[in-house]
C-alpha cells in the first residue's frame, strides 16, 4: 500500500515538474503577411527578451500562462497569453498593425507683393539708366522687376515659417506610449488617479532620461517596478 502511494505521489510530482519546465517556443511576427525584423519579444513573466530576425522569426523560453509582449515603435503594441496549445503547436504566428503615419506640420505663408497697374497718361515713368556699353550683357533685365528684392522678402518670410518648436520626448510620454494601460492597474496595483502622479515621480529620477534615450520596454518596466516600491513606501509614510 505504501509503495503504491509513493508511486502515485512521485508520478504527480513528476507531472507537475514537467508542466512547470520552460520550453522553447518558436514563432513568427508579421504585418499584412510581411515578416517584421527587429521586433522586441519580451516574456514579461520570466523577464527575458529576444528579437525577430530578417524573416520575422523568433525563439524564446516560455511556460504555460506566461505573458509575451511584442513591441516595435512603428506598430501597435501586441500582447499574448501563452497556452499549453501554443507550446504544443510550437509555431505561433503574431500579426501586428502598423500605426498611422504622422505627417510633419506644414506652414503656408502668404507673401503680398505691391500691385503694379498699367500706366495712364498722367503717370510718370522713371526709366532706368541706359547701359554704359549696350553691346555687353551684364546679367540684368532692362526695365525688369527687382528679383533680388523679391527673393530677399521671400527668404525672410520663409525663415519665420520654419521656426516650429518641437518638444523633446519625456519619460511620461514614453511610458504612456509603450507600456500597456493594464500594467499600471494589474501589475503595479495603482489607482487610476495615482498614475499621473506616479509617472511624474518617475520622471524626476535621473535614470528616466537614460530610458528615454534607450527606448527599451523591458528596462522601462523594470524601472517602473522599482519606482513603484518607492512610491508605495512614500505614500504609506505620508499617511502615517
State yes or no: pLDDT of 7 exceeds 70: no
State the DSSP H helix or E strand holding residue 85, giving kind and residue range, or none if neither.
helix 84-89
Task: Output the pLDDT for position 56.
Answer: 95
Residue 150 has pLDDT above 80, yes or no: no
| Section 165-173 average pLDDT | 64
pLDDT in tens, 11-61: 455 454 444 688 999 999 999 899 999 999 999 999 999 999 999 999 999
Q: What is the CA radius of gyration of the chain?
A: 33
Q: Which domains does the chain have, with CATH numbers?
A: 2-95 (2.60.40.1120), 171-239 (no CATH)
Which of 51, 1, 16 is CA-nearest to residue 217?
Answer: 51
pLDDT category, 235, cuts 50, 70, 90? confident
- Spatial distance between the Cα atoms of 125 and 144, rounded to a whole number of angstroms: 13
Give the E-state strand segments of the chain in sequence order. 23-31, 34-35, 40-43, 48-51, 57-62, 67-71, 78-81, 92-95
17 near 47, Cβ under 8 Å? no
- Which percentage of the chain shows pLDDT scores above 90? 25
Bigger pLDDT: 104 vs 201: 201
Output the pTM of the full model.
Answer: 0.46
Average pLDDT over residues 97-112: 59
Amino acid at each position: 500500500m505504501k509503495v503504491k502511494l509513493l508511486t502515485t505521489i512521485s508520478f504527480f510530482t513528476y507531472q507537475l515538474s514537467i508542466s512547470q519546465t520552460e520550453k522553447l517556443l518558436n514563432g513568427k511576427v508579421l504585418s499584412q503577411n510581411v515578416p517584421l525584423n527587429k521586433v522586441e519579444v519580451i516574456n514579461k513573466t520570466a523577464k527575458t527578451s529576444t528579437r525577430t530576425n530578417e524573416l520575422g522569426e523568433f525563439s524564446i523560453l516560455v511556460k504555460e500562462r506566461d505573458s509575451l509582449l511584442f513591441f516595435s515603435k512603428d506598430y501597435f503594441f501586441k500582447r499574448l497569453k501563452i497556452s499549453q496549445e501554443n507550446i504544443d503547436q510550437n509555431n505561433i504566428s503574431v500579426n501586428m498593425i502598423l500605426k498611422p503615419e504622422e505627417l510633419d506640420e506644414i506652414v503656408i505663408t502668404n507673401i503680398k507683393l505691391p500691385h503694379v497697374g498699367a500706366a495712364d497718361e498722367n503717370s510718370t515713368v522713371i526709366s532706368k539708366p541706359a547701359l554704359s556699353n549696350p553691346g555687353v550683357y551684364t546679367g540684368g533685365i532692362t526695365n525688369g522687376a527687382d528679383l533680388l528684392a523679391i527673393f530677399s522678402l521671400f527668404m525672410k518670410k520663409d525663415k519665420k515659417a520654419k521656426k516650429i518648436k518641437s518638444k523633446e520626448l519625456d519619460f511620461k510620454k514614453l511610458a504612456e506610449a509603450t507600456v500597456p494601460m493594464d500594467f499600471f492597474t494589474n501589475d503595479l496595483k495603482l489607482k487610476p488617479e495615482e498614475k499621473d502622479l506616479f509617472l511624474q515621480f518617475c520622471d524626476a529620477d535621473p535614470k528616466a532620461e537614460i530610458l528615454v534615450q534607450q527606448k527599451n520596454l523591458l528596462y522601462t518596466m523594470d524601472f517602473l517596478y522599482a519606482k513603484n516600491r518607492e512610491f508605495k513606501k512614500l505614500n504609506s509614510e505620508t499617511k502615517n
